[in-house]
Amino acid sequence: MSNPTLLYTIVDAFTSTPFSGNPASVIILPPAHHTLSSESLLQIAAEFNLSETAFLIPQPSTSPETLRYGLRWFTPTVEIPLCGHATLASARVIFSTPEGQQVDRLEFETLSGTLVAKKVPGGSGKIELDFPASTLEELASADELAQVSEVVSAAAGGGVGVRGVRKAGFFMLVEVDPSFDLEGAVMDANPFTKLPFDAIIITSSRPTSFRPGARFISRVFAPRSGVAEDPVTGSAHCVLTPYWSQTLNIPPGVVIEARQASKRGGDLDLIWEKESGRVRMQGSAVVTMRGELYL
């Protein structure tokens, strides 16, 4: 008897160029495997050893214009409540199926509620995700601010000017002075484990030659979740979009170009819908691999 098989697709998200952006593995679970345990899903994610693996289960649709799926995300070590790039990758896979080619809208039921993905009109091939905007809080303690500055400088291997710090759920956002070459810096993620947050966003208004129109750049480190540096992090832009919209006085509803300046790099177009508390993020995604996983 042959081993049970799962089909997987590897997608590079937030890029139109293979071998850049953030790779995610996407698996649409067949009915026989809808009841796979969380432990089994985690083992599969660890086998891929990508920053995230997405697992999808088809659900009944309430409209002929929309397909619905249950969606869960796993790093190699934990399940996480929200992931932008693996959602974008999932949408790319579904929109490539015969059923997905017939619709323009997807709904995903997740630990963060219902998330929507849409095809962007105009033939660009981009997909728009509708995510909840994060609520930002300032650090009240001078001791906390001093610790953040110390940790960031340790990670960068030298003194780095910190211009602002915010916390939002499991994220901490740190704006650094644009004189610091965030894009070119060799960062050690280990010091970030001293901060009580699962993911640390380092961001700057420093220009980047990779995307001259970008209003800000960022890098994201998550050693507590088993990811030293995440190549492109959609969920982090739920924090970054309201932060930079307010910092740069960009009105809600205006498209903001952004660049995540990791080694692989990725580009996002962002819109803050302040009144509804949402962030719309648009990006490209490209399939690089398909195959079979034997259980």
Which residues are tagged catalytic?
Answer: 52
186 vs 178, 229, 265, CA distance in Å? 16, 11, 15
Q: How far is CA 206 from the centre of its chain?
A: 21
Question: Six-digit token pair at 145?
Answer: 């601010």
List Cβ<8 Å contacts ≥24 apart for 57-61: 57/28, 57/29, 58/28, 59/109
Q: What are phi and psi of 138, to 5 degrees?
A: -85, 155
How much of the chain is in helix, strand and coil states, percent to nearest 5?
Answer: 20, 40, 40
Secondary structure class of 37 (helix, strand, coil): coil
247 vs 204: CA distance, rounded Å: 11
- The answer to whether 277 and 133 are in contact (CB under 8 A) is yes
For residue 267, the cross-strand partners are: 259
Burial 206-236, CB ≥16 within 10 A → b, else e:
bbbeebeebbbbbbbbbbbbebebbbbbbbb
Q: Give residues with Cβ within 8 angstroms of 252, minimum separation 6.
A: 245, 271, 272, 273, 274, 275
